[in-house]
Amino acid sequence: DQQVKQNSPSLSVQEGRISILNCDYTNSMFDYFLWYKKYPAEGPTFLISISSIKDKNEDGRFTVFLNKSAKHLSLHIVPSQPGDSAVYFCAASRNNAGNMLTFGGGTRLMVKP
């Protein structure tokens, strides 16, 4: 039972263009969502997050959008840079669940110079 899904295992974009990574969830109890970036042989690093009371959060080149009615979130990276090439995981948490995160399967982003 995958409660958080990233349906695109990979995405390739040209440098300077927009990258859009998508994530769907099924558990309506999730109230906080995060994106992590992972390079090979390293642990995931936190990128950006959003609370369920918001529908958008922006941090520099990264913007996360949340559509609660559709149980869908997306990460926009603009402009994309070759250093953004990594695996991106979306994750979700529930209130009163401590620090337990439920992760999606990841999307490998390749930004071509």
Partner 1 sequence: KAGVTQTPRYLIKTRGQQVTLSCSPISGHRSVSWYQQTPGQGLQFLFEYFSETQRNKGNFPGRFSGRQFSNSRSEMNVSTLELGDSALYLCASSLPDAEKLFFGSGTQLSVL
Closest distance of CB 16 from partner 1, Å: 29
- Kindly state whether residue 46 participates in binding partner 1, applying the rule CB under 8 A: yes
Q: Are 28 and 83 in contact (CB under 8 A)?
A: no
Answer yes or no whether residue 45 interacts with partner 1 by CB under 8 A: yes
**Residue choice 35, 104, 109, 111 for contact with partner 1 (CB under 8 A):** 104
Q: Is the peptide bond before 82 cis (omega within 30 degrees of 0)?
A: no
Residue with Cβ nearer partner 1 (13 or 36) = 36
> DSSP H helical segments within the chain, as ranges?
none
**Number of continuous H segments (helices) and E segments (strands) in the chain:** 0, 11
Closest CA to 39 of 91, 103, 82, 99: 82
Q: Which of 35, 89, 109, 111 binds partner 1 (CB under 8 A)?
A: 89
* 43 scored as a contact of partner 1 (CB under 8 A): yes
Binding site for partner 1 (CB under 8 A): 32, 34, 36, 41-46, 49, 89, 91, 93, 97-106
